[in-house]
Amino acid sequence: MKLIHPSYFPNIFAFSYILHEPVCWEAHDNYQKQTFRNRTYISNDRGKHILSIPIIHVGKENGRQKYKDVLIDNSYPWQRQHWRTLQTAYRTSPFFEFYEDEIKPLYDKPYEKLLDYNLKTIETIFECLQMEMPKDTSTEFEIEPSEHEDFRFLINAKLKHKLTIEPYTQVFGDRHGFIPNLSILDLLFNLGPNTIEYIKKDFISQDNA
């Protein structure tokens, strides 16, 4: 079983493990900046575009903050902004209207905690694909997990993987070319039910070792 962080609409590489491997969600680590915990990337008319969830930062005097305790800053209308951005980016994609009613509620109801929201975004993707989401969560933090394979590195937004993401048709591909390893939303809106078959592929380059 692989130990993985829940992230905001995970990228295709991360979701390939989540969808087809036994997974345990890391729920007891410390929050770190510059990770996929509160960001995801999509493609719009300007190319690769970040969607970032604002969070409430605690002062340094309070020490490290647990991921499960991180609060979303809902004083800013980020949900409305994200949804409008998704509409503009994907309304002409083949499957946006098909999944719109499942995705939109995530941007209508305020959520308090980032971890809970991220898990809900992943659960929603599983529902769209008519599959059951993994439910196991960690019970304590371990630097070196004793019972799980450690795949927590997938949350690192700065880590560069050598991947072989096979191109699929993207909305703005004629302008920007194929942009690999975006949010699972990009794949879902463009491929729909074929997302499951596509994500079975091995995305790790042979020279990635």
Is 50 a domain residue? yes
Residues 166-187: tens digit of each pLDDT: 899 999 999 999 999 999 999 9
Q: For the chain, what is the domain count?
A: 1
Residue 63: band (very low, low, confident or very high) from pLDDT cuts 50, 70, 90: low
DSSP state of 92: T
Beta carbons within 8 Å of 186's beta carbon, 6+ residues apart: 12, 42, 43, 90, 170
Task: Specify the pairing of strand 47-52 against strand 39-44.
Answer: antiparallel
Mean pLDDT to the nearest integer, 12-19: 92
CA atoms within 13 A on the CB side of 2: 18
Residue 205: band (very low, low, confident or very high) from pLDDT cuts 50, 70, 90: low
Is 203 a domain residue? no
pLDDT surpassing 70 at residue 206: no
Is 58 a domain residue? yes
Residues 83-117: tens digit of each pLDDT: 999 999 999 999 999 999 999 999 999 999 999 99
Residue 10, domain extent:
2-198
Is 206 a domain residue? no
In 3D space, the residue among 169, 171, 196, 166 whose CA is nearest the CA of residue 184 turns out to be: 196
Is 93 a domain residue? yes
Torsion of CA 162, 160, 16, 152, to 10 degrees: 130
Is 209 a domain residue? no
Is 208 a domain residue? no
The tokens for 161 are 């993987």
Higher pLDDT among residues 127 and 204, named by residue: 127
DSSP state of 113: B
Is 105 a domain residue? yes
